[in-house]
Amino acid sequence: MSRHERHRPPRGTHASRLLIASTAARLMAEDGIRHPILAKQKAARQLGLPESAMLPDNAEVEAELRLYQALYQRDAQPEALYRLRLEACKIMEILLDFHPCLIGRALDGTADAFSAIDLMLFADSAKEVEIFLLNRGIAFEHTEIRGACRDKAEAALRLFTPAAEAHLLIFPSHCERRHFKRGDGRPCERMRREALLKLLQTPCDGK
């Protein structure tokens, strides 16, 4: 029996953390919960654990998510990831003036059919990006600044293409060379369009 098929939490803090992480991963993969924090909270409730239970960190959930995808979504997840990265390239080409970088799950390889494209943009002002989109007839909406690399972001926009949902985090131009960190302290990796194109051209599944 795999850890994803267990129903009763084993004893011990470490075992409980592992079970919460694996349950959170399943919720993300099957139910489309995008944010690990929400998935962890829901997992703990489903398992009947107290609010004081020690929750796993995001890295633990990510590791369990990769395991779940490898076990149960061996074909569907890589295909969805490839399509999302391909669409990211198209959006990044449109936004080249703002030096777009891919971040998040489409970059780290855990994105699936439920995922959105997360991009960092760098501009003199958020208004500059908004005017650019308006002039090209690209509909967008303002959204809450959240997620990885949100520190110092001036605005967050969301737009939809026929193939995907994209979240744009807009930073001042002078932040382009800055090293960002995720909310849990890990480095926030990012990738330019040229590197993403090379990744898509590799013979493997793109992970």
Question: What is the value of pTM for the model shown?
Answer: 0.86
Burial category of 30 from C-beta neighbours within 10 Å (exposed 0-12, middle 13-18, buried 19 and up): middle
Name the residue with tokens 């001036």: 154
Which residues of the chain, if any, have pLDDT below 50? 1, 5-12, 205-207
Query: What residue type is 143 in one-letter code?
Result: T
Q: Where in the sequence of the chain do the CATH 3.30.460.10 domains occur? A: 76-200
Nearest to 62 by CA among 101, 29, 84, 96: 29
Taking only the tens place, the pLDDT of each residue in 47-102 is 998 867 789 999 999 999 999 999 999 999 999 999 999 999 999 999 999 999 99
pLDDT attached to residue 132:
98
The 10 Å Cβ neighbour count of residue 15 is: 12
The answer to whether residues 5 and 23 touch, using CB atoms and an 8 Å cutoff, is: no
Give the whole-angstrom CA distance, residue 196 versus residue 53.
39
In degrees and rounded to multiples of 5, residue 21 shows phi and psi of -60, -45
Q: Note the helical H segments in the chain.
A: 13-31, 36-46, 58-72, 76-94, 105-108, 126-135, 193-200
The answer to whether residues 81 and 66 touch, using CB atoms and an 8 Å cutoff, is: no
Give the whole-angstrom CA distance, residue 207 versus residue 200.
9
The answer to whether residues 24 and 61 touch, using CB atoms and an 8 Å cutoff, is: yes
- Give DSSP secondary structure letters for 112-135: -TT--EEEEEEES-HHHHHHHHHH
Instruction: Say which residues have a Cβ less than 8 Å from residue 195's Cβ, sequence separation at least 6.
Output: none
In the CATH scheme, what architecture does the domain 76-200 have?
Answer: 2-Layer Sandwich (3.30)
